[in-house]
């Protein structure tokens, strides 16, 4: 009798327990995926309230969003080494504890530094989880349940993003209720509490993941490689029958003997790694992973609510829009998982990238129709700069009307009751930008421009911000307003058209690249270079994602959302060309056949 035969109630006690343990492994994997999704999605609902109450500038807000991605770069780079050194189970526990610790650090923070550190911890946790949980599942689950385990991890990852969006939507209703019943000061204080509560809500799944990780066994493969044969056999027996455990133990022993007997000439191995069969798939993997994140998917998820707000939707509508957006991701991921073995990887890649190009270009054109009406009131704003070379500006309807009047008759095209303002400014060689502020938001914090918000505090920070800048001169340079763009906040109908474009983007991404990228890359990489090659490719992927998230708000403030979406579209065109002309179809092929393809020895 196998663990798949009949209901659990009809199984012998031993097999029923093993089946229950396999289900528990899937539950722990699901919690890991849920945490990874929360890492990505939680900032989307919290960001509008954080932006409204924290007095952070656009660059700092972008850095807060990007900190998760930056943390995952470091943890992804070392996750494989840590998993081999300390074991899969301890690393899972450590990643869960890191997530749990990050929540109070963020929720209790006051200022940029603690916020950045807390989000960095979240990113470190997510990067560790993204590597160690799939690795643990591959080594612990039987062949019949391994695919299901990987699917549960990906499925729950998208559910984590949906959950984060739902939490944000719930609090948007609370904010709307307070806005109707309280004054601006009370609303401001409530918004300050809301973004903290959104992070607190994500704490219980982290605690559950830590508890679940403590209760599972260590990976039998890791135990065997450490010489703990008895421990490896005991770990296998928790999820397999005696016969299955004995078979897998024999396979591990045979693999170990084959590895020991294999040639170990270092020079020959180093030379072999430069062969066509290794170099081409490695470069292709790096290109695909870079292009995958260059579609802007992580930035669009992280800044989704802000994008919808600027497109014309209200706060509640924008949070509902984000819930629909993440739900599309969740549902289309399931569709892609069904189609990937039927239609093939390459077909879904081409379909997905084609749809992404059409979607992001359409969204860019929608934003362009309103952004081209923007007016530059830098002269008027420059006159408001104080002798201390700072500026504080509350952009409400009256202030919008005054700024628009200063522009003359051309200003009649913008409604002061639904206007937006973003300021690009500089001190010496350093430039910064504020986020967009809407005149119809009574609880919006005043725009505050100070030298500290633009000029780095030390030479190390200065090097990364502008390696050719003169830091000493900037310390005394006057504040210069480069642009003060007043734009029209579109009608809600325009906002819903933008939302539909984003839904289409997410649908095509989830259907194609979202489902196929990790599967295709694991098949592309030859066995000899898979672990190290994937680590390098993943780091490149995270670096591209971090860079895009870090520049998102400053870039949008200077050039508009339309330019950002056109940039995403141009990257996706490159993605489309790579998968169309260089990616082989790997469906139904053995790893040896794929390696033969890249070696140029495949049978015609």
User: What pLDDT digit, counting tens, does each position of 532-557 carry?
Assistant: 566 677 777 777 877 887 777 778 77
Going by C-alpha positions, the residue among 203, 72, 210 that lies closest to residue 128 is 72
Per-residue pLDDT at 138 exceeds 60: yes
User: What pLDDT digit, counting tens, does each position of 444-501 carry?
Assistant: 778 888 888 888 877 777 776 777 888 889 889 999 988 888 888 788 888 899 999 9
Query: What's the confidence (pLDDT) of residue 519?
Result: 64
Query: What's the confidence (pLDDT) of residue 534?
Result: 63
Query: What's the confidence (pLDDT) of residue 11?
Result: 47
Q: Is 448 exposed, middle or buried (0-12, 13-18, 19+ CB in 10 A)?
A: middle
Share above pLDDT 70 across residues of the chain, in percent, rounded to a whole number: 82
- Map out the domains of the chain as residue ranges: 24-216, 219-259, 375-490
Q: Is 590 helix (H, G, I), strand (E, B) or coil?
A: coil
In sequence order, which residues have a C-beta less than 8 Å from that of residue 75 and are 6 or more positions away? Answer: 95, 123, 124, 125, 126, 127, 128, 131
Average pLDDT for 400-406: 84
Average pLDDT for 31-50: 79
Tell me the CB-side half-sphere exposure of residue 172, using CA atoms within 13 A: 25
Average pLDDT for 286-291: 83
User: What pLDDT digit, counting tens, does each position of 329-339 carry?
Assistant: 888 888 887 77
Tell me the CB-side half-sphere exposure of residue 418, using CA atoms within 13 A: 14
Looking at per-residue pLDDT, the higher value among 105 and 535 belongs to 105
Average pLDDT for 283-309: 83
How far apart, in whole angstroms, are the C-alpha atoms of residue 348 and residue 368? 30
Query: What's the confidence (pLDDT) of residue 93?
Result: 93
Per-residue pLDDT at 98 exceeds 50: yes
Looking at per-residue pLDDT, the higher value among 578 and 597 belongs to 578
Per the prediction, the chain carries an average pLDDT of 79
- Dihedral over alpha carbons 596, 598, 601, 603 (to 10 degrees): 70
Q: Residue 299: pLDDT band by 50, 70, 90 thresholds?
A: confident
User: What pLDDT digit, counting tens, does each position of 12-30 carry?
Assistant: 555 666 777 878 887 887 8
Q: Is 478 exposed, middle or buried (0-12, 13-18, 19+ CB in 10 A)?
A: exposed
Query: What's the confidence (pLDDT) of residue 101?
Result: 94
What is the architecture of the domain spanning 24-216? Answer: Up-down Bundle (1.20)
Between the alpha carbon of residue 558 and those of residues 80, 375, 376, the distances in Å are 40, 13, 11
Q: Residue 146: pLDDT band by 50, 70, 90 thresholds?
A: low
DSSP-derived pairing of the beta strands 437-438 and 391-393: unpaired
Query: What's the confidence (pLDDT) of residue 4?
Result: 45
Looking at per-residue pLDDT, the higher value among 404 and 280 belongs to 404
């Amino acid at each position: 009798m196998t663990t798949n035969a009949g209901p659990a109630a009809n199984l012998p006690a031993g097999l029923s327990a093993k089946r229950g343990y396999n289900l528990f492994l899937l539950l722990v994997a699901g919690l890991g995926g849920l945490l990874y999704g929360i890492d990505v999605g939680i900032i989307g609902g919290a960001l509008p309230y954080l932006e409204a109450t924290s007095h952070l500038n656009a660059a700092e807000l972008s850095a807060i969003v990007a900190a998760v991605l930056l943390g995952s770069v470091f943890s992804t780079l070392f996750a494989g080494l840590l998993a081999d050194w300390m074991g899969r189970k301890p690393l899972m526990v450590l990643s869960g504890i890191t997530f749990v610790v990050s929540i109070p650090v963020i929720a209790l923070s006051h200022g940029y530094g603690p916020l950045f550190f807390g989000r960095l911890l979240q990113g470190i946790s997510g990067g560790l989880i993204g590597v160690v949980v799939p690795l643990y599942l591959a080594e612990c689950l039987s062949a019949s349940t391994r695919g299901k385990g990987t699917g549960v991890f990906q499925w729950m990852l998208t559910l984590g993003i949906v959950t984060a969006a739902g939490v944000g939507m719930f609090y948007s209703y609370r904010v709307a209720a307070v806005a109707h019943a309280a004054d601006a000061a009370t609303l401001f204080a409530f918004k300050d509490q809301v973004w903290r509560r959104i992070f607190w809500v994500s704490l219980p799944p982290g605690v559950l993941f830590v508890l679940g990780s403590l209760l599972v066994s260590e990976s039998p493969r890791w135990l065997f490689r450490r010489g703990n044969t008895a421990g490896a056999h005991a770990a296998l027996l928790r999820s397999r029958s005696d016969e299955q455990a004995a078979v897998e133990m024999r396979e591990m022993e045979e693999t170990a003997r084959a590895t020991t007997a294999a040639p170990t000439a270092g020079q020959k191995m180093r030379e072999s790694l430069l062969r066509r069969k290794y170099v081409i798939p490695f470069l292709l993997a790096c290109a695909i992973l870079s292009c995958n994140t260059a579609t802007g998917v992580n930035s669009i998820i992280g800044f989704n609510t802000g994008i919808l707000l600027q497109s014309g939707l209200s706060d509640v509508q924008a949070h509902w829009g984000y819930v629909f957006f993440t739900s599309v991701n969740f549902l289309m991921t399931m569709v892609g998982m069904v189609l990937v073995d039927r239609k093939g990887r390459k077909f879904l890649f081409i379909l997905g990238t084609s749809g992404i190009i059409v979607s992001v270009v359409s969204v860019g054109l929608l934003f362009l129709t309103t952004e081209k009406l923007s007016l530059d009131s830098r002269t008027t704003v420059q006159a408001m700069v104080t002798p201390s070379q700072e500026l504080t500006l509350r952009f409400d309807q009256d202030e919008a009307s005054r700024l628009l009047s200063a522009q003359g008759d051309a200003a009649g095209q913008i409604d002061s009751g639904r206007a937006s303002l973003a300021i690009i400014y500089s001190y010496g060689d350093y430039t910064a930008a504020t986020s967009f502020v809407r005149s119809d938001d009574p609880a919006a914090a005043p725009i505050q421009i100070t030298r500290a918000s633009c000029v780095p505090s030390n030479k190390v920070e200065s090097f990364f911000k502008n390696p050719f800048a003169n830091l000493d001169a900037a310390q005394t340079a006057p504040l210069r307003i480069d642009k003060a763009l007043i734009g029209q906040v579109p009608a809600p109908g325009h906002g819903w058209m933008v939302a539909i474009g984003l839904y289409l983007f997410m649908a095509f991404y989830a259907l194609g690249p979202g489902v196929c990228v990790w599967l295709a890359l694991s098949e592309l990489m030859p066995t000899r270079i898979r672990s190290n090659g994937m680590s390098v490719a993943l780091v490149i992927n995270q670096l591209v994602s971090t860079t895009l998230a870090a520049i998102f708000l400053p870039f949008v403030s200077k050039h508009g959302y339309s330019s950002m979406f056109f940039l995403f579209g141009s990257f996706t065109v490159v993605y489309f060309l790579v998968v169309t002309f260089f990616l082989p179809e790997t469906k139904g092929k053995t790893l040896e056949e794929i390696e033969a393809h890249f070696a140029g020895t495949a049978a015609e």
